[in-house]
Structure 1
Amino acid sequence: GQPEDPAVRDKMILEFQKMLIVRHPLERLLSAYRDKMLRVRNAHDPHVRLQQEILRLYPDPNSPTEKPKKSSGGKIEGHPSFTQFLMKVRDDLLKAWSSDGSYIVNMHWRPVWLTCAPCQISYDFIAKVETLDLEQEYIIRQMGLQDLLFNAHTHSSNFDTYNTTSEAVKDYFRGVPRRLLRDVVELYQPDFTLFGYSPDSFLELAIREE
């Protein structure tokens, strides 16, 4: 973890080599949804409570008349749709922007610009998940980590039927209203700009509103 003493932290930032691994913001959001909104570890999993909160607060615009199902004990059952999850993400980011970053966004969908301060910290290496195989050997050698195992691959979720991210992207984003997706893209725009990602192919998949 980070040292609590700001002076020690600043000294480390100046003296240590710094590496940042980034991913397409919309793929990252889909990964967070599949892992945190479709899974149930146990009854006390905090993400289960978050799933129930999203179901309660964000009616799915794709199913406007469908009400959340409740158990005999009154708890909401089921999992939020990807659209409902993005509505929650949009609200979180709006709060973060309006509070100048003081509102705490869940780490699994907190923007990189808000978490890692790429405009304030000069990183020695910025690697993209999409090309990590090509970049990691160079980075490992430059940082002198040849004797350490380094692997930052992402894995498919175990909680739906898709084997690859590209398969999941096509189906999940086809169910998202384009206006909502445009809002999310705008809120994550610094990540798109800083790291050279485009939202266009995802926006083309989204539902066109009449």
Structure 2
Amino acid sequence: MVRLSTAESQIEKELFNKSKYGNYYFSKPKNVQTRCNKSLANFTANMLVDETHKLLYCFVPKVGCTTWKKIFAILTNEKLRNETKGNPENIKLDPHSIRFKSMKDYNSSQREIILKSYFKFMFVREPFERLVSAYIDKFYVPELNGFWESWGRRIIKRYREKASAVSKACGHDVTFEEFLSHSLSKVQQADISGGNEHWTTMHQICNPCGIKYDYIGHVETMRRDTDVILHQANVSHLIVQDEASVSNIRQNLHISDEALIKSEKCLEPRDAVKRIINSLIYKGFLPNNFSIAEFTRNSMGNNSNMTNEEVAKLFNAKLDDILPRIWENKLKSSKSIKELNREHSLIRLQKSNISGQISSQIIKRFLKYFSLDFEAFGYDTKFYSNYMTK
């Protein structure tokens, strides 16, 4: 197998020089430890197990789990490893459809052995950024997994007094503040099943209070942390990491022809395209000044009778023209630690026209609910304090 692009000597240097980026191992300040003692030591289906290489990976939705499920699939399946030549980018099937062994499959004595002898790791993400990602991919852009029907209609019914008949029937236009109100409700906080795991806290899913993880990586430095984890777990020789192709980028951006076509009964074609473009602006694939009106005019003309299927074909043809250039520029910028210094997700959310001003009351509830995630994983809350005083 081809070795990772990061040289072994460089990885060794990172292991002993974490202060350059900050310590990404889980630490427990006294106030967090006090709260940890009250936490239940739950084992969830998100805690995946690789018996061959003695690994435990706890995945958190919207925290790079697509990438790491692909890696885990290669590690746990020798046939797939040979077929893909150890490259996660070569996996064609949906990694979320793969059945992995989890801690739920073991009895208490087996779990104890795993916790004592396996290399245990997880990844985390800035809590608000993670919620925004969940909202965009599950409620904002056209999607295939039924979140509009199963969750959207429920949220609109509960939080919107004068909802239109279309909104009640489709659940397609949940606002970000309505989504936050739902996510932060006490009813949802107790449940991490049936979709809720996309917006529940990271410590509820992976229980870092009850499980001593050997390494906790951050999405903000994911490539570097992935290299370190693979090296520490002694499996770096089995995985090849190439830069993602444009086709895989499209998959990760949740741009789906099928979803766009399916949304026809609820969204006008131009509105569906506008949502997708706004999401690309938020994610940094398109500039803030990108002209949606010009793009839709050039790709769809003045034809107002187009079906969503026709729109999907034209839209994707245009996207194929611009995505390679955009991706090339994004790759150049990501070679630095620019990801850590970009604008806060709340500001980008407003600039991309996905959401307006968020009330201080909602922000306070958010900070209270995710306080342990902020404290435990080293994320700062100062921005939110400043935001509420403006």
TM-score by length of 2: 0.44
Within 5 Å, which residues of 2 pair with 1:34-53?
34-42=136-144, 45-53=146-154
Q: Distance in 1 between matches of 2:115 and 2:241?
A: 21
Within 5 Å, which residues of 2 pair with 1:49-68?
49-59=150-160, 67-68=162-163
Cα distance, 1:36 vs structure 2: 0.9
SS at match of 1:37: helix
Tell me which of 343, 346, 350 is aligned to 1:169.
Answer: 346
Structure 1 runs of 4+ with >3 Å offset: 39-42, 153-160, 165-169, 202-208
Q: Distance in 2 between matches of 1:25 and 1:34?
A: 14
Letter of the structure 2 residue corresponding to residue 198 of structure 1: D
Q: What residue ranges of structure 2 are gaps of 5+ in the alignment?
A: 1-100, 256-275, 285-342
Cα distance, 1:39 vs structure 2: 3.7
Q: Give yes or no for the alignment of 1:89 onto 2:186.
A: no
Aligned to 2:373: 191
Letter of the structure 1 residue corresponding to residue 187 of structure 2: K
Cα distance, 1:174 vs structure 2: 5.0
C-alpha offsets along residues 133-181 of structure 1, whole Å, 9 cap, x if unaligned? 3322222211112122469x99556435133265863115752101111
Q: Distance in 2 between matches of 1:25 and 1:173?
A: 17
Judging changes above 3 Å, is the alpha-carbon distance between structure 1 residues 39 and 145 closer, same or farther for their aligned structure 2 residues?
Answer: same
Q: Distance in 2 between matches of 1:150 and 1:124?
A: 22
Q: Distance in 1 between matches of 2:383 and 2:254?
A: 22
Over the matched positions of the two proteins, sequence identity in percent amounts to 21
Q: Larger Rg: 1 or 2?
A: 2
Q: Distance in 2 between matches of 1:200 and 1:88?
A: 24
Structural RMSD (CA): 3.1
Contact 1:178 1:203 in 2 (8 A): no
SS at match of 1:18: strand
Q: Distance in 2 between matches of 1:30 and 1:207?
A: 22
Letter of the structure 2 residue corresponding to residue 81 of structure 1: T
Q: Give yes or no for the alignment of 1:179 onto 2:361.
A: yes
Cα distance, 1:32 vs structure 2: 0.6
Q: How many residues align?
A: 193
Q: Distance in 1 between matches of 2:152 and 2:209?
A: 33
Contact 1:111 1:188 in 2 (8 A): yes
Cα distance, 1:13 vs structure 2: 1.9
Aligned to 2:218: 128
Q: Distance in 2 between matches of 1:197 and 1:167?
A: 12
Judging changes above 3 Å, is the alpha-carbon distance between structure 1 residues 35 and 96 closer, same or farther for their aligned structure 2 residues?
Answer: closer
Aligned to 1:22: 124
Q: Distance in 1 between matches of 2:372 and 2:147?
A: 29
Judging changes above 3 Å, is the alpha-carbon distance between structure 1 residues 132 and 77 closer, same or farther for their aligned structure 2 residues?
Answer: closer
